[in-house]
Amino acid sequence: MSVAYRYSNHNRHHHHHHLLILFVLLLQVIVPIKSDNNEAEILLRFSKSLQKNDATANWNTKVSPCDKKTDRPNWDNVICENGFVFGLQLENKGLSGTIDVDALKDLPNFRTISVMNNNFEGPIPNLSKLAGLKTAYFTNNKFSGQIDNSFFEGMHWLKKLHLGNNQISGKIPSVFGQLPKLTELRLENNKFEGQIPDFNQERLIDMNFANNSLQGPIPHGLASLKPSAFEGNNLCDGPFSKCTSEPKVALWTIILVVIAVAAAVAAIVVVIIILRRGKQTPETETRPIPTPSGAAAGGATNQTGAPSAAELNKMEQGSNQAIAARDQSPEGTAVLNTNKRPEVQAVQQKLLFLKDDIEKFDLPDLLKASAEILGSGVFGSTYKAALSRGRVMVVKRFRQMNNVGKEDFHEHMRRIGRLSHKNLLPVVAYYYRKEEKLLVSEYVNNVSLAVHLHGNKSRGQPSLDWPTRLKIVKGVAKGLLYLYNELPSLTAPHGHLKSSNVLLNESYEPLLTDYALLPVVNLEHAQEHMIAYKSPEFKHNGRITRKNDVWTLGILILEMLTGKFPSNFLQQGKGSDTDLATWVRSVVNEDMTEVDVFEKEMRGTTNSEGEMMKLLKIALGCCDLDMKKRFDIKEAMERIEEVKERDGDDDFYSTRGLSDDYTQVSMNI
């Protein structure tokens, strides 16, 4: 009897064990599906707090918010990452109501929210409920009231907080200075008062307190910011005059200054000693990534004999003699041979590949490859490397790319690696080092659009005809629209669109390069060199917008139609607001019936002036100074697609036959 009982008990225990395993397996199947349903239910609950919520019109439980296979959103204005809801981008939707953070807090992977350019009113929501949030953009709304410290307590991951152009009052919460990851804080054009609290973060990149009612001294941690970050207040110290103080305080200040100067002198002495010792460092010590083998110095050119990127850069700076100067200069000589340098063996890290359908190679393969310098741009040098098996790659070396940490850089590169479009040059691999980065792409056996527009002219070679230019414009617009659709979290998905960053393959299909790099480039370097920061809205308001790349597209089209270098107009002393679009407007008559701006070499196609004029007006619509009237990327793409190679009999477009909306757009810019 006892044996039977033990046997029965053992069977019962074994049966329970199997039930437990079955239950765990069922959970693995059920939980992901339930997670999708949960995300849908959470977002639908959140949408009920919004008024005029056309932005959520296609949100429904019949389809999950994110596609697990493609990692793309099925719902409008949803940002997906790894198949889950990563954030919301509800910009320019005319929304009002409230932002239900109590609903959003149940999304485990929620990291970013943007409700810029809407009509939200009342206090800022309590974002501390979204503990994992990294970025929050609430600019250009009607938020008001004071912000309590508790609204941001415990937000250890928050990096970017934009609250500019609202009506928020009271003191700036001291908790802002305690957010460890914070790099951007924009509070401009509000009603904040009192003193600015202390900020002790090490990587404060973009801070703006302008046009509030602040007073008192600027904290030491913010003293290095530009005056424009504080203008429109009653502040002192930092970039402004020193604050007045009692004699005892002034004496103490002098003492502190003396101590600081003494410390600085001591630090300089230490640095000098270290540098002297550094000269005696053994050859086997690890050094920066060496230049590829056989790379030619400065003046080297590619096999086509076309001007290098460096020469085009000089041309863009107003030196149109660059090509002639190169033709008279001796050829460069090899400056490095990595086979003889011991530091090559010290490079242990490997290239990280972003594409699976490519034959793998490693960093030493690139360093040993026969190479030549294609040019040096605002980021660094570009090399053409011929690998041992006949494959040719292009390696771009970046030194000003430390705007984000290592983890965020890898994440952003993976995002770029997922992009795939016939008008984008893919980044196939990259190398990460804190001091510099390498981006690797396929070599295109042709030259850039800039060379075809400006370089061939100086060498007596034929220029591009109208059908080819129109084909290039359409390809560039398609690639840009794709970037907008695939990178909705980026304000400027390209950020550096110009003719030298448009490569042409053998069939003159355009390939965009240097796209989506704005988030990782050092802010000061980006503001000084990248095209996104040359736009009118940045010049006047200190910010870039979602229509920024549309402006650069318009300038690029005008460059192609006129043959003029965009930057030349700034070089000629015509004023800080002068650009190529301004020049075009100045030389055409009011009704745009008499236009003499088209490049002569392009006019070979008969019966095409009407279509050229149509594209010219589209370009001006892309460059409208009024942000509300400027085309968005979708409208620009639709209008560009309507342009034909020749004026058709059934659909004739002449300088007088264009629809009223084109004329109105062009004359209101």
CATH number at residue 127: 3.80.10.10
Which pair of structure tokens corresponds to residue 280?
């005696």
Residue 299 belongs to what domain range?
282-443
CATH number at residue 507: 1.10.510.10
Q: How far is CA 464 from the centre of its chain?
A: 30
Residue 620: helix, strand or coil by DSSP? helix
Per-residue pLDDT of 290-315, as tens digits, reads 555 444 433 333 433 344 444 444 44
Alpha carbon distance 114, 271 (integer Å): 45
Nearest CA to 141 out of 92, 193, 76 is that of 92
Task: Say whether both 147 and 249 belong to one domain.
Answer: no
| Tokens 């509000």, located at residue | 190
Alpha carbon distance 30, 33 (integer Å): 5
Task: Say whether both 251 and 306 belong to one domain.
Answer: no
Alpha carbon distance 148, 157 (integer Å): 19
650, exposed or middle or buried, with CB in 10 Å at 0-12, 13-18, 19+?
A: exposed
DSSP string, 54-78: GGGTT--TTS-SB-TTT--BSSTTE
The pLDDT of 103-125, averaged and rounded, is 92
Which pair of structure tokens corresponds to residue 125?
């929501």
Residue 79: helix, strand or coil by DSSP? strand
Identify residue 271 by its one-letter amino acid code. V
169, exposed or middle or buried, with CB in 10 Å at 0-12, 13-18, 19+?
A: middle
Per-residue pLDDT of 344-378, as tens digits, reads 333 445 788 898 777 788 777 777 777 688 877 77
Answer whether 500's CB lies under 8 Å from 556's CB.
no
Asked if the model's pLDDT at residue 74 lies above 70, the reply is yes
The per-residue b/e assignment along 523-551, b for 16 or more CB within 10 angstroms, e otherwise, is bebbbeebbbbbbbbbeeebbbbbbbbbb
DSSP string, 479-505: HHHHHHHH-TT-SSSSS---GGGEEE-
- What single-letter DSSP state applies at residue 255? H
Residue 394 β-bridge partners = 384, 441
CB within 8 Å of 532: residues ≥ 6 apart? 492, 494, 495, 496, 518, 526, 538, 544, 548, 549, 552
Residue 236 β-bridge partners = 217
| In 530-641, alpha helices (H) | 536-541, 548-562, 568-571, 580-587, 609-622, 633-641
57, exposed or middle or buried, with CB in 10 Å at 0-12, 13-18, 19+?
A: exposed
Asked if the model's pLDDT at residue 621 lies above 90, the reply is yes
Per-residue pLDDT of 560-570, as tens digits, reads 999 888 875 54
Instruction: State residue 236 phi and psi, 5-degree precision.
Output: -140, 175
Alpha carbon distance 257, 242 (integer Å): 13
Per-residue pLDDT of 203-227, as tens digits, reads 888 899 999 999 999 998 898 888 8
Task: Say whether both 109 and 181 belong to one domain.
Answer: yes
Task: Say whether both 490 and 588 belong to one domain.
Answer: yes
Per-residue pLDDT of 577-602, as tens digits, reads 567 888 888 877 555 555 678 887 77
| The predicted structure's pLDDT at residue 87 | 94
Answer whether 194's CB lies under 8 Å from 172's CB.
yes
- Confidence label for 277 from pLDDT (cuts 50, 70 and 90): low
- What single-letter DSSP state applies at residue 292? P
Alpha carbon distance 64, 38 (integer Å): 9
**Cα–Cα–Cα angle for 214, 220, 226, nearest 5°?**
65
Alpha carbon distance 244, 265 (integer Å): 28
Q: Which of 331-345, 540-554, 603-617, 640-654 has the lowest mean pLDDT?
A: 331-345
Asked if the model's pLDDT at residue 286 lies above 90, the reply is no
Long-range contacts: 659-663, Cβ < 8 Å, 24+?
662/614, 662/617, 662/618, 662/621, 663/591, 663/592, 663/617
Residue 440 β-bridge partners = 395, 429
Task: Say whether both 316 and 232 belong to one domain.
Answer: no
- Number of separate domains in the chain: 4
Binding-site entries for ATP: 396
**Cα–Cα–Cα angle for 465, 469, 470, nearest 5°?**
120
Which pair of structure tokens corresponds to residue 549?
């790349």
Q: How many CB atoms lie within 10 A of CB 521?
A: 24
Task: Say whether both 413 and 501 belong to one domain.
Answer: no
More confident residue, 332 or 444: 444
Residue 217: helix, strand or coil by DSSP? strand
Residue 476: helix, strand or coil by DSSP? helix
Alpha carbon distance 351, 431 (integer Å): 5
Average pLDDT of the residues of the chain: 77
Binding-site entries: 396
Task: Say whether both 309 and 272 belong to one domain.
Answer: no
Q: Which of 280, 306, 333 is the last residue of a domain?
A: 280
Per-residue pLDDT of 146-182, as tens digits, reads 999 999 998 999 999 999 999 999 999 999 999 999 9
Task: Say whether both 524 and 625 belong to one domain.
Answer: yes
CB within 8 Å of 38: residues ≥ 6 apart? 106
Mapping DSSP onto H, E and C, the string for 171-187 reads: ECCHHHHHCCCCCEEEC
Q: How far is CA 398 from the centre of its chain?
A: 15
Alpha carbon distance 455, 453 (integer Å): 6
Task: Say whether both 217 and 269 belong to one domain.
Answer: no
The pLDDT of 229-249, averaged and rounded, is 76
Alpha carbon distance 132, 106 (integer Å): 11
Task: Say whether both 349 and 371 belong to one domain.
Answer: yes
Q: Which of 253, 280, 307 is the last residue of a domain?
A: 280
| The predicted structure's pLDDT at residue 378 | 77
The pLDDT of 648-653, averaged and rounded, is 44
Alpha carbon distance 586, 232 (integer Å): 34
Sheet containing 206-208: which strands, arranged edge to edge? Answer: 78-81, 84-89, 112-114, 135-137, 160-162, 184-186, 206-208
Q: Which of 280, 304, 338 is the last residue of a domain?
A: 280
Task: Say whether both 334 and 230 belong to one domain.
Answer: no
Answer whether 638's CB lies under 8 Å from 477's CB.
no
Task: Say whether both 470 and 575 belong to one domain.
Answer: yes
Which one of 20-24, 340-344, 473-477, 611-615 scores highest in mean pLDDT? 473-477
| Tokens 């085009």, located at residue | 312
Alpha carbon distance 114, 132 (integer Å): 15
In angstroms and rounded to an integer, the radius of gyration of the C-alpha atoms of the chain is 29
| The predicted structure's pLDDT at residue 476 | 98
CATH number at residue 335: 3.30.200.20
